[in-house]
Amino acid sequence: MARGDGRLSHDLMPGEKGPQDACGVFGVYAPGEEVAKLAYFGLYALQHRGQESAGIATSDGHKILVFKDMGLVSQVFDEGALEALQGHIAVGHARYSTTGASTWANAQPTLGPTAHGTVALGHNGNLTNTQELIDLLIAREGMAKRLDLKGGKCTDTAIVTALLGSDEYDTLTETALELLPHVRGAFSFVFMDEHALYAARDPQGVRPLVLGELPTGGWVVASETAALDIVGASQVREVEPGELLMIDDAGVRSERFADADPKGCIFEYVYLARPDTTIAGRSVQAARLEMGRALARQHPVDADLVIPTPESGTPAAVGYAQESGIPFAQGLVKNSYVGRTFIQPSQTLRQLGIRLKLNPLREVIEGKRLIVVDDSIVRGNTQRAIVQMLRDAGAVEVHVRISSPPVQWPCFYGIDFPTREELVAVGHTIEDVRAQLGADSLGHISLPGMLEATQIAQSRLCTACFTGAYPIEPPVDARHLLATQHEEIAG
């Protein structure tokens, strides 16, 4: 599967890795429109969800063309590439890898033969029963030959693409309805054949997926409502958990392949989604502002300024400032043009304090008591570097406030958190972590406070990364270890 982060890996120090996002998917059915360009702009709006590779496939009703490469959307496509992608159907994808290597071969959309043509598929999420799907593929004579299943080279997306190529059914719709009940984990699929566009969402609806309508009557599906906005589409509704949509010249049709059991990812509200996106009827911006207000009520401190870690900490910092009455200021400047760099600084450059992504505004922070608001702490390296940077720039006190609870468990549904052993909160008290960061104080929002800010019932959200309560059974190879860790905590 895939995902990535347009906010540049949590606005990290060079070489640091933080929570990576679930990838972005976009599909459009719009006869008479430049669907490749619509897909391009849709992916541009979803760039924060995947920075490793980008791709677009189009169909003119007779054949499917695909163009994909490593890099950002703006780096992969130019006018010539988009002009060559003719047709009235398009599927686009921006990738961050979670299964399979970060290589051109694993860029999406993936292509595969079907009984009557070709399928092109993009995937947002992460599957938890990949081995079962591989076994199913092997059981279907000759189909496993389409993939290299050795050495972990194959993505879960490629396996699903191959399974959609079954010749047991007359249509891709029938094949999908037979296959999807066997697929477990987090998936928002957008796929197409030569004649129709399809969208499917797992029964838990872990990752967002929305349906929109263009002013000209065409249809769009996308990971976030912000991608509908950029192409001028109005939101019709969310794709329901456990639903398959088929879109062709007859319009939009819906089939259900599983009962809905909503468990949307809470981290979409905390960090992953754009602030101008709406998920399950709740504005992400409004949720983050309220998280900041709750944080101020739960962890007040005397200070002169509230500053965010840009950009991800900004809405919560604004909320904290509003609730506390302490002035908000931009104390850290982000290099908006840093992009993805494959040039890693040497140890010497690290020791010189290279600041590729963030730099402090000394005239704002010197002599001040600061409250620094961020969305989460994973390993803690980034926050440690920021605290030191602010002290070096003259801050008298640095109080760190986090708009999510401590991250204590790995994610199997599309966020690339490190192993439990690497998470700084595991096995350490808040005071331990504060000391590691070098902060004067540290405060996390409570789980109830975060949940209340979303205005979504806890029973309809996945909070596994904070609680260890997984709504979908984790992969087989992780279950024993997780059970052991739960027993250790209970003991």
**Catalytic site residues?**
23
Q: Judge if the upstream peptide bond of residue 311 is cis by omega within 30 degrees of 0.
A: yes
Task: Check: CB of residue 369 under 8 Å from CB of residue 396.
Answer: yes
- Backbone dihedral region for residue 141 (phi beyond 0: left; psi -120 to 50: alpha; all else: beta): beta
Distance of CA 139 to the CA centre of its chain: 33
Q: How far apart are the first and last CA of the chain?
A: 36
Q: In what order do the strands lie in the sheet with 234-238?
A: 64-70, 53-59, 89-95, 24-29, 219-222, 210-213, 234-238
Distance of CA 172 to the CA centre of its chain: 27
Distances (CA, A) of 345 to 335, 349, 417, 434: 16, 6, 23, 27
User: Within 13 Å and on the Cβ side, how many CA atoms surround 442?
Assistant: 23
| Dihedral of the alpha carbons of 419, 420, 422, 427, in degrees to the nearest 10 | -170
Q: Is 174 helix (H, G, I), strand (E, B) or coil?
A: helix
Structure tokens given for 200: 């499917």
Distances (CA, A) of 128 to 112, 124, 358, 472: 22, 13, 36, 8
Task: Check: CB of residue 433 under 8 Å from CB of residue 400.
Answer: no
DSSP class of residue 299 equals S
Q: Is 118 helix (H, G, I), strand (E, B) or coil?
A: strand
AA identity, residue 126: N
> CA 424 to CA 377: how far, in whole Å?
8
> CA 442 to CA 434: how far, in whole Å?
6
> CA 35 to CA 247: how far, in whole Å?
14
